[in-house]
Structure formats: structure tokens, C-alpha cells
């Protein structure tokens, strides 16, 4: 969408639905895939380097429309809010039995104050919820919407530091809401390796126990 504006949510859903049809058509391996839609036209397209196994297609959801789209056309749903209702809507639209992935940002580090600071600098918009985030069109809008968010607010919402119990407490709502998988997004490029090692040894055993 770079340089083409930010259309209303209804138009974006139409565009996403067509894009999913195109992606699925290409993954089906047709010799000459053709598609004519309201927003996209594809003529004689072919994906030459097909994977041995079809790549699962996930769609992020936040409400009835996106849940309906995901249930009908995706292999799994992704959500950043641990709401049981999203899974129910996904199932009703055809997603029953398909994976439900909950996504949550985390800020690992042995210094919790530094981890909270990093989360505040890079992810303070996370707490707005997807319905708000999806309608913010540019970085200036995100800055304006998040300028009054304090570090303490981010630290209360997202797992920060290296306290396993805190991570379990804040991730558990996804499990309780019926999500089958949880994707952890580590904030900050310098801590990725350390986070993976710590998660393997400390966090994952604790999560599996619940």
C-alpha cells in the first residue's frame, strides 16, 4: 500500500480476500493462473518454485468480518487478543479444527527496567487492540495515539524481564481462550539469541505444564 493511501476497512477486507484467492491459486500449482477481481487482476501467473508441502496460510483476526474470512479461506487464524469469541466466530465460518494462534509481544532481559523501557520505545502501541491499530494510517498517527502511554502501562500488559511466572500469567489467557498455539514476538534485535536460549530452558517447560 506504499504510496496508494489507506482505504477504509471494508475495502481493505475486499482486497485481502482477493489477495488470498490469488495466493491460494498460485499455491495450487496451476500452469497458468488467471484471476480478475474488483481490486486485482492476474493473468497467466505461475509459481515456479513450489514447496514440497503447501505453506499454511494464516489470517489475522479481530472481529466478525476477519474471522469469517479466515474461517472460509485460511488454514489458521492469528489473533493478538485472547478472546474466546474470535475462535467461536472462526469455527462458525469453517475454521473448526484448524489451528488458532495467539500472538503476544515479550521483552526478555535480565534487567526488567531496561526490558520495560525497550518495550515502551518499540511496542507501546500494542495495547490499543487491533481494531485501533488497523485504522492508524502512518507512523505519525501511531506516535500521536501512543504519546501518553507510560512505561508502567506497557510493563503491566506485556511480559518483560526474565520472571517465568510473569510470562506464564500473561500468556495463559490465550490458552484459556482456546488458542492451540502461542507465537512470542521478542522485542529488540539484540536479545533474540538470549531469549531463545532462555525460552527453551525456562519458559517453554513452564508453559507446557499448564
pLDDT in tens, 71-91: 999 999 999 999 999 999 999
114-133 pLDDT per residue, tens:
999 999 999 887 765 555 55
146-177 pLDDT per residue, tens:
676 788 999 999 999 999 999 999 999 999 99
pLDDT at position 56 over 90? yes
Please provide the average confidence, as pLDDT, over all residues in the chain.
90
pLDDT at position 1 over 60? no
Q: How confident is the model at residue 142 (pLDDT cuts 50, 70, 90)?
A: low
> What is the pLDDT at residue 3?
64
> What is the pLDDT at residue 167?
98
Comparing 132 with 106, which gets the higher pLDDT? Answer: 106
Q: How many CB atoms lie within 10 A of CB 56?
A: 10
173-199 mean pLDDT: 95
**Cα–Cα distance, 187 to 136 (Å, whole number):** 21
Asked if 62 and 79 touch (Cβ cutoff 8 Å), the reply is yes
pLDDT at position 141 over 70? no
CA distances from 196 to 33, 109, 112, 204 (A): 40, 11, 17, 10
**Secondary structure of the chain: what % helix, strand, coil (to 5)?**
50, 15, 30
Helix (H) or strand (E) segment spanning residue 64: helix 64-73
Q: Where are the domains of the chain?
A: 1-55, 99-208
pLDDT at position 63 over 70? yes
Amino acid at each position: 500500500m506504499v504510496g496508494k493511501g489507506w482505504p477504509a476497512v471494508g475495502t481493505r477486507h475486499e482486497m485481502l480476500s482477493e489477495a488470498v484467492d490469488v495466493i491460494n491459486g498460485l499455491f495450487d500449482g496451476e500452469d497458468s493462473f488467471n484471476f480478475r477481481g474488483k481490486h486485482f487482476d492476474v493473468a497467466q501467473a505461475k509459481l515456479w518454485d513450489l514447496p514440497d508441502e503447501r505453506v499454511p496460510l494464516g489470517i489475522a483476526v479481530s472481529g466478525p468480518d476477519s474471522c469469517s474470512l479466515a474461517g472460509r479461506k485460511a488454514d489458521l487464524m492469528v489473533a493478538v487478543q485472547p478472546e474466546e469469541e474470535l475462535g467461536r466466530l472462526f469455527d462458525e465460518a469453517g475454521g473448526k479444527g484448524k489451528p488458532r494462534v495467539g500472538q503476544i509481544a515479550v521483552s526478555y532481559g535480565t534487567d526488567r527496567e531496561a526490558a520495560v523501557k525497550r518495550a515502551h520505545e518499540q511496542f507501546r502501541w500494542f495495547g490499543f487492540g487491533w481494531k485501533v491499530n488497523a485504522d492508524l494510517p502512518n507512523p505519525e498517527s501511531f506516535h500521536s495515539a501512543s504519546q501518553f502511554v507510560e512505561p508502567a502501562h506497557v510493563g503491566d500488559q506485556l511480559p518483560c524481564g526474565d520472571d517465568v511466572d510473569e510470562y506464564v500469567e500473561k500468556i495463559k489467557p490465550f490458552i484459556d481462550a482456546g488458542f492451540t498455539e502461542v507465537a512470542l514476538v521478542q522485542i529488540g534485535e539484540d536479545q533474540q539469541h538470549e531469549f531463545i536460549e532462555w525460552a527453551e530452558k525456562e519458559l517453554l517447560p513452564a508453559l507446557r505444564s499448564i
